[in-house]
Amino acid sequence: MKIILLGAPGAGKGTQAGIIKEKFNIPHISTGDIFRANIKNNTELGQKAKTYMDKGELVPDELVVDLVIDRLEQDDCKDGYILDGFPRTIPQAEELDKALAAKGDKIEYAINIETPDDFIINRMAGRRACVNCGATYHTSFMPPKTENICDKCGENLILRDDDKPETVKKRLEVYHDQTEPLIDYYKGTGILSSLDGTKDCEVVFAEICDVVEK
Ligand code: AP5
Ligand code: MG
């Protein structure tokens, strides 16, 4: 099961990917999580990525594409994967399709979680993230069992640097400009499904299951 999750920042891609991963036992590959782990470990990639992420801009394609394509070569991806936050530009999508086609492979589902901008701005301030395992919480909608501690791995939760309101606004602009065109791209390849991301998390997940299990 090879799935791409599309949607604006805060649409719920990471939240849904975490549940899909548990239910279908396939890896959740989030380029944002990979960059945040690199920033935490102060790697060269992390230092480069941080300069773009802090401004709400996209990290250049050349720092992302090979990283993901190499990741998909790993053994745990042979029965499928969920790509969260990649591709994010048309050139990234084209490079991904080219690399998969060279192996006689392709993405099966592109699932677009549609969420209006005003919903997103309200959600982001309450988000808390685990940089250790990638789990996502919300102070009101999905609180952890113990305040600021990850239920899954016990690490302290953080408020992401790019969740400041002005950076969220910039990320939404970048999304509409550079990532939203992917909706038409995947409509064109016939694998797009769109869901209402304003519904409860469980409802969104049930709709994802309807798409991938039909
Ligand atoms: P990334 O980490 O991918 O961020 P994003 O796409 O902006 O998306 P988010 O992680 O902010 O949101 P999400 O859709 O995962 O929502 P979540 O589930 O957390 O990327 C960060 C940065 O890295 C980018 O800005 C860019 O600089 C760089 N980058 C990454 N990939 C790149 C690429 N391919 N190319 C170039 N640059 C790249 O949910 C949000 C909140 O809402 C949570 O608190 C959650 O608990 C809550 N929530 C979720 N669903 C619901 C629901 N149904 N009801 C109520 N609350 C909900
Ligand atoms: Mg995310």
In this predicted model, what pLDDT tens digit does every residue of 109-136 receive, in sequence order? 999 999 999 889 888 889 999 999 999 9
Q: pTM here?
A: 0.94
pLDDT of residue 122: 84
pLDDT of residue 132: 92
Q: 17 CA distance to ligand 2 centroid (A)?
A: 9
Residues of the chain with pLDDT under 70: none
pLDDT of residue 182: 98
Distances (CA, A) of 157 to 14, 25, 34, 83: 15, 24, 16, 23
162/124 Cα distance (integer angstroms): 9
pLDDT of residue 121: 87
pLDDT of residue 28: 97
pLDDT of residue 37: 93
Give the mutation target among 67, 141, 168 for probing the ligand 1 site: most ligand atoms within 8 A of CB: 141
Q: Is the CB of 13 under 6 A from ligand 1?
A: yes
Q: What is the DSSP string of 87-119?
A: --SHHHHHHHHHHHHTTT----EEEEEE--HHH
Ligand number, closest to the Cα atom of 31: 1
Which single residue is written with the structure tokens 């990283």? 67
The string over 92-110, giving b where at least 16 C-beta atoms fall within 10 Å of a residue's C-beta and e elsewhere, is bbebbbebeeeeeeebebb
| For residue 87, cis peptide bond before it (omega within 30 degrees of 0) | yes
